[in-house]
Amino acid sequence: MTSQPVSALKAPTELQWDDRLPAKERAAFATWNACIARLNEERGVEINISGPFLKSKIAWKLATYQHALLHRVVALADGVAVNWNGRSMLGAMLCARALMETIAVLSFVERSAAALYEREDLGGLDALGQNGTFATRDEALLKEFPESKATNILTYVKRFDEKILPGFSEHYDRLSERCHPNASGHYFMFAKLNRDEGRTSYSDDAAPQRHAGLILAALAVISLVETMNARMNAVVMKIADLQHRLAPVPNDPQSDGAG
């Protein structure tokens, strides 16, 4: 992979600690910001069909899919920070929940790529990159490309809960209650009832400490993305070598003439 300097991209916003959370959580904010800064540096700006990708289209497909997901992770992290810093808790929750979803998908892709590589399943690896990249719920597109039907996001969330982090799905559900226009997402998000006076009052955030804790818990898994991304980088290079060995590109000067 060759890339332009990452400075060509917008730097993610840093999450700013404030009194919505206790002082002991300052360290968590510092860890989060440092992790996002490193992931930002990992983002590819340009992936060319050269080097290992010249001898493996499958590896190229998986790398381009991986980096699209990584860009989404950084963009959503930026969204959480912008909304948090601006005290828009609902906006921060929406981005935090979408971040959890994206991490679950990235985990599935990384684990699936590793398993398919071990089985030397080039067809499965090609389908993983192709179908994941073009996954859709658009019925018109699915009539032409039924294999690209997107998997329900709850499937990824539950797999992540089962394989990686128990409790992940439960917390995702708690955030979902607030991200949807359910009671927790409208009345209990913005309103407080004074029963003695028979008065309902509204504010930008009716329970800032509680909502802040929910957001911080969602962000705690970000450190896992670095590990996943590093493993994905390694397996993509192995897949390039695997395809070159099993199905060399015709007329490739590096090929031994087999196939």
Per residue in 7-55, pLDDT tens?
678 899 999 999 888 888 899 999 999 999 999 999 999 999 999 999 9
pLDDT at 257: 39
| Inter-CA distances, 222 with 52, 71, 184, 229, Å | 29, 14, 25, 11
Provide the residue type at 53 as one letter.
F
157 beta partners? none
* Cα 136 to chain centroid, rounded: 17
* Reported pTM: 0.90
Domain with 98, as residue range(s), is 50-194+235-259
In the predicted structure, residue 86 carries a pLDDT above the cut 90? yes
For the ranges 2-16, 87-101, 126-140, 236-250, the maximum mean pLDDT occurs at 87-101
Give the contacts of 257 (CB within 8 A, at least 6 positions apart): 248
**Cα–Cα distance for residue pair 119/106, rounded to 1 Å:** 20
Q: Strand pairing partners for 149?
A: 136
Position 150 in a domain: yes
pLDDT of residue 3: 43
CA distances from 227 to 32, 86, 222, 233 (A): 14, 30, 10, 10
CA distances from residue 105 to 32, 48, 99, 126, 182 in whole angstroms, order as listed: 20, 24, 10, 17, 26
Residues of the chain by 3-state class (helix, strand, coil), percent to 5: 65, 5, 30
Confidence tier at 6 by pLDDT (50, 70, 90): low
Q: Looking at the domain assignment, is residue 37 inside a domain?
A: no
Instruction: Tell how far CA 45 is from the center of its chain.
Output: 17
| Residue 109, pLDDT above cutoff 90 | yes
Q: What SS3 state is found at 47?
A: coil
- What is the mean predicted confidence (pLDDT) over 145-153? 89
pLDDT at residue 251 is higher than 70: no
DSSP 18: -
Say what the pLDDT of residue 256 is. 45
Residue 148 above 90 pLDDT? no
Token output for 102: 């994206």
Give the span between the Cα atoms of 122 and 29, in whole angstroms.
Answer: 41
User: Does the residue 3 lie in any domain?
Assistant: no
Q: What distance in Å separates the CA atoms of residue 19 and residue 29, rounded to the nearest whole number?
A: 13
Does 156 fall in a domain?
yes
Q: Looking at the domain assignment, is residue 200 inside a domain?
A: no
| Number of domains composing the chain | 1
Task: Name, in order, each residue with C-beta under 8 angstroms of 53's C-beta and a sequence gap of 6 or more.
Answer: 1, 47, 59, 60, 63, 240
Give the model confidence (pLDDT) of 156-211 as tens digits.
999 999 999 999 999 999 999 999 999 999 998 999 988 888 899 999 999 999 99
Q: Give the model confidence (pLDDT) of 218-237 as tens digits.
A: 999 999 999 999 999 999 99
| DSSP string of 181-240, one letter each residue | TSGGGTHHHHEEEETTTTEEEE-S-S-HHHHHHHHHHHHTTHHHHHHHHHHHHHHHHHHH
pLDDT at 7: 65
User: Residue 193 and residue 186: Cα distance in Å, rounded?
Assistant: 13
Q: Is the residue at 23 inside a domain?
A: no
Confidence (pLDDT) at 259: 33
Q: Residue 17 falls within a domain, yes or no?
A: no
| pLDDT (0 to 100) of residue 5 | 52
Domain assignment present for residue 143? The answer is yes
Summarize pLDDT for 69-78 with one digit per residue, the tens. 999 999 999 9
